A and B are shown apart, each in its own frame.
Chain A
Amino acid sequence: MKDANTDRPLLEIQNLEKRFDLDHGFLETLKFKKGKFVRETRSVHAVNNITLDANRGEALCVVGESGCGKSTVARLVAGLLTPTAGEIRYDGQRIDNLSRGEMQPLRKKIQMIFQNPYASLNPRMTIRQALEEPVRHHFPNASAAEVRDKVTEVMLSVGVDPSWAKRYPHEFSGGQRQRIAIARALTVDPEFIIADEPISALDVSIQAQVLNLMLEAKESRGLTYLFITHDLSVVEHFGTRVAVLYLGSVCEIADTATLFSSPKHPYTRALLSAVPQLKDDRPNHIRLKGEIPTPINLPTGCPFQSRCSFADARCKSEKPKAIHQPDGSLVACHAVEEDRLDAVAAG
C-alpha cells in the first residue's frame, strides 16, 4: 500500500504530555495566600514528555505501577483523550488533533481491548449484535450476509462457537467475554490494537488461553500491539520491546530480551526483582524507600529520586534525558549516564 513508509514506525509519539486539571471554574482556582487571593490551578501530571514509537508487527509493551500513566498513554493514542502537548502520528499522519469525523477512518485501523470484559460489553446486546455493530458502522455498504459471514469468521478464529451468538454477555465466563471483546476488535480488520491490561482480570489458566489467542492474531493478521500491563512475566513473553514508565515519565525503553537480561535503570531493576519467582524461595528483592509520590506538583529533577538509592544532588535538580546505551536501550538516569550504578554495587 504505502511501501515508502514501511521503514517508518507505524506509531510515533513525540513529547507527549497530559495534565488533568483538579480545579475547575474560577472559584475553585482562588487560593488565599499571604494575606491575598491568588489564582492557582493544581493539576495531575499524568504523562510528562514521553517519546516512544512502535514499528509494524511489533508488540510494544508499556509497564509500570498504578499511577504511572500507562493507561493514559493508551487512551491518548486511541484518541479517547486529547493531549495537553506533543504529537501522535499514525502511519505518518498526525492523529492527536483530528476532529471526530476525521478520526473515523482511523478508528477502523486502531482498535482497543479493555481490562474488564464485564464492563466493556453492553449487557443488553447479544453477542451477535455486539459484534455486528462495528462492522455495520465501518462498512456501511456491506450486505447483511457479508456482515454475518465476517462475524462468524472472527468468532471461529477466537474460539467462540458461532451458535452462541444469540446469547447475552452475562451467560459467559470472564475468559469467554474477553475472547468476545477481542473478536469485536478484530471484526473490522484493524492494523493496530491497543490492549489495556487485557488479561489482568482473568485466572491463570484463562490468561494463557487469551494470550495465545492474541499471539495467534498477531501472526495471522500481522497486527501491531500497544500492550499496557503491570505484569512483567507477561511482558517477557509477549512483548518485542518494552517501555518502563514511572510517574508519567519513561525510565527505560529496550528490546524485551535486553531489558530482562540487563536492566539498567534503578527502577527497572527494582521492578524486576520484586516479581515473586516460582523456583526461588529466597526472596531477594531490591527494597525501594517510600511510595510513589503524588503526580500533583511533581518534584523537579528525576521523578524517581525520592525512592532511588543512587540519587545525588544532580538527580534532585535536573531531569535526566533518555540516552542511548551501547546495547540499543534508551535509559533516562544520571547514575547510569555517569556509570555510578555498578561502581556502588561492586564497592
Chain B
Amino acid sequence: MSLLSVRDLTVKFAMRDQTVTALNGISFDLAKGERLGIVGESGAGKSITGFSLMNLLSRPGFIDSGQILFDGEDVVQMNDKRLRNLRGNRMAMIFQDPMVTLNPVLTIGQQMIETLMAHRKLSREEARQIAIVKLREVYIPSPEERLEQYPHELSGGMRQRIIIAIALLLDPQLIIADEPTTALDVTIQADIMELMLELCQSNQVGLILITHDLGVVSQMTERTLVMYAGRIIEAGRTREIINDPQHPYTQGLINALPQQTVPGQRLKQIPGNMPGLASIPQGCAFNPRCKYATDLCRSRVPEIVQYGEVAVACHEVQRLHSDEDRQEARA
C-alpha cells in the first residue's frame, strides 16, 4: 500500500470579490521510501500542494474537496490532536530559507530539545543526547557546542543541515522539502543534496521535493510531477520525463535551459507568462503559450492519461508524436 495517496485534491482561496482555484483535482501516490519531485514555475501550485499535505493552509486558502490519505488516514478529516501528532512526528517539512525557519532568539539546542519533549516522553538530558546524535548524522562538527549557539552564528549551509536534523528528529516517514537548496550556493547545494539523498535512502524516508530546478529533480528523485496553473500536466519516472518529455510545457521548460542550446545562440523560449489564478484561460491552461494549440485545447481541459511511459494532460500529445516521428523519418 502506498504511504501517501492524494485523490482529487482541490484547494481554493476565498478572496474579497471572488474565489480562485489554486489546485484543481490533484491526484498522486507515493510509496514508502519513494522520492518524488514536484516541478513548476512560480504560481504553478507546487508549494500549496506541500502545505495542503500537512493541512497547513491558512485563510484565505482552504481544501475544497478531495482526500489526502497518509498511512490510510485522511489528513483533511483529522482533528487538531491528530494533526499535531502528524506534523513533525510522521511528516516533516523543510523550507527554502533557513534563516526564517529557525527561531532567532532560541539556541539550536532549545529548538531541538523543545521539539523532542513536546512529542515524546523524554527527560531533558535524553532529548539532548538524541539531538546530538541527529546533528552528527547531518555531519555537523562538534554538535555539543552547536547546541549552545544561536542561528545567526551559523552559516547558511550549516543552518540548512540543522533544519534537516530537526526534520529527522522524530523519525518521520515522509519529508516535504520546499526548495530546500534554492537559497544556497552551488557547492553547498551539492553537499546538502547528497546528504538528503543519503539520509532518505538509509532511513527509508519518503521525500517530496518541491523545486523549480530540473537539474535538482533529475539528481534527487525517482518520480516527477510537472505542474502548471494548479494542475498536474505530466507525471512519470524522472528519467523518462527528463529524457523524453511529452507535454509541450515540459518540453518547453527543458528546452529553455541554457545547456540545451549552442552557446551564443538564441535560447528556445516559451512565449508569454504563467497565468494568474484569477485569469486561468479556458480549456487547457497552457493553450495561449502553446504552438500546438487547437480549438479543442481552447475549449476543453485535457484529462491526464497514460501515454507510453508517462501520464500526460494534453489533447495533442498523439499529433505531437506523429509530428516528431515524421521529422525523424525525414532526417
Q: How far is the CA of A274 from the CA of B215 in the complex (A)?
A: 11
B253 touches which of A205, A274, A279, A285 (Cβ 8 Å): A205
- Which residues of B sit under 8 angstroms from A277, Cβ to Cβ? 215, 218-219
Instruction: Establish whether residues B218 and A205, one from each chain, have CB atoms under 8 Å apart when the complex forms.
Output: no
B261 at the interface (CB under 8 A from A): yes
- Of the residues A65, A175, A238, A256, contact of B273 by C-beta under 8 Å: A175
Q: Is B283's beta carbon under 8 Å from chain A?
A: no
Whether B219 and A283, one on each chain, are in contact in the complex, defined by CB atoms closer than 8 angstroms, is yes
A271 with B186: CB separation less than 8 A: yes
Interface check A328, CB cutoff 8 A: no
Write the chain B residue with the least CB distance to A285.
B190
A276 touches B219 (CB 8 A): yes
- CB atoms of A274 and B256 under 8 A apart: no
Bitwise, A266-304 to B at CB < 8 A (1) or not (0) is: 000011011111111101010110011000000000000
How far, in whole Å, are A209 and B252 apart by their CA atoms in the complex?
Answer: 12
Q: Which residues of A sit under 8 angstroms from B257, Cβ to Cβ?
A: 204, 208, 233, 278
Which residues of the other chain, A, contact B218 by a CB distance below 8 angstroms?
A: 276-281
- Residues in A whose Cβ lies below 8 Å from that of B256: 204-205, 207-208
- Asked if A257 is an interface residue, CB under 8 A from chain B, the answer is yes
Given the complex, which residues of A lie within 8 Å of B134, measured CB to CB? none
A278 touches B274 (CB 8 A): no
Range for the number of chain B residues in contact with chain A: 35 or more
Q: For B320, what are the chain A residues with a Cβ–Cβ distance below 8 Å?
A: none
- Given the complex, which residues of A lie within 8 Å of B267, measured CB to CB? 208, 211-212, 237
B101 CB-CB contact with A under 8 Å: no
Once the chains bind, are A276 and B190 in contact (CB under 8 Å)? yes
A204–B266 CB distance below 8 A: no
Q: Does A337 contact B (CB under 8 A)?
A: no
Q: Which residues of B contact A15 (CB under 8 A)?
A: none
Query: Which has the most chain B C-beta neighbours within 10 Å: A65, A215, A233, A237?
Result: A237
- Name which residue of chain B comes closest to A272, CB basis: B186
Mark B259-271 against chain A: 1 for CB-CB distance below 8 A, else 0. Answer: 1010110111111
Render B211-227 as a binary contact track against A, CB cut-off 8 A, 1 for contact: 01111101100000000
A268 to B254 Cα, complex, angstroms: 25
A278-B269 contact given A205-B252, A232-B186, CB 8 Å threshold: no
Cα of A288 to Cα of B219 in the assembled complex, Å? 19
A211 and B268 alpha carbons, distance in the complex (Å): 10
B312 contacts partner chain A, Cβ-Cβ < 8 Å? no
Tell yes or no: A206 within 8 A of B by CB: yes
Asked if residues A257 and B268 are in contact (CB atoms below 8 Å), the reply is: no
- The distance in angstroms between the C-alpha atoms of A198 and B248, with both chains bound, is 27
Q: Would you list which residues of chain A between 167 and 218 have a CB under 8 Å from chain B?
A: 173-176, 203-209, 211-212, 215-216
User: At the interface, yes or no: A87 with Cβ under 8 Å from chain B?
Assistant: no
**Interface hub of B41, B190, B194 (most chain A Cβ within 10 A):** B190
> CA A212 – CA B252 in complex, angstroms?
15
For B156, B188, B212, the residue with the greatest tally of chain A CB atoms inside 10 Å of its CB is B188
Q: Is the CB of B263 within 8 A of A66?
A: no
Judge if B306 is at the interface, Cβ distance under 8 Å: no
Q: A237 contacts B258, CB within 8 Å?
A: yes
How far, in whole Å, are A206 and B239 apart by their CA atoms in the complex? 24
Closest to B242 in A: A278
Would A208 and B269 count as touching, CB distance under 8 A? yes
The answer to whether B253 and A204 touch across the interface, beta carbons within 8 angstroms, is yes
Q: Whole-angstrom distance from the CB of B285 to the nearest CB of chain A?
A: 14
Enumerate chain B residues within 8 angstroms of A216, measured Cβ to Cβ. Answer: 266
The contact sample of 19 A-B pairs, CB cut-off 8 A, is A174-B42, A176-B273, A204-B214, A205-B252, A208-B257, A208-B258, A208-B268, A211-B258, A212-B267, A236-B263, A237-B264, A274-B186, A274-B189, A275-B215, A279-B218, A280-B218, A281-B238, A291-B157, A292-B185
Write the residues of chain B forming the contact surface with A, with a CB cutoff of 8 angstroms. 41-42, 155-158, 185-191, 193-194, 197, 212-216, 218-219, 238-239, 242-243, 252-254, 256-259, 261, 263-264, 266-271, 273-274
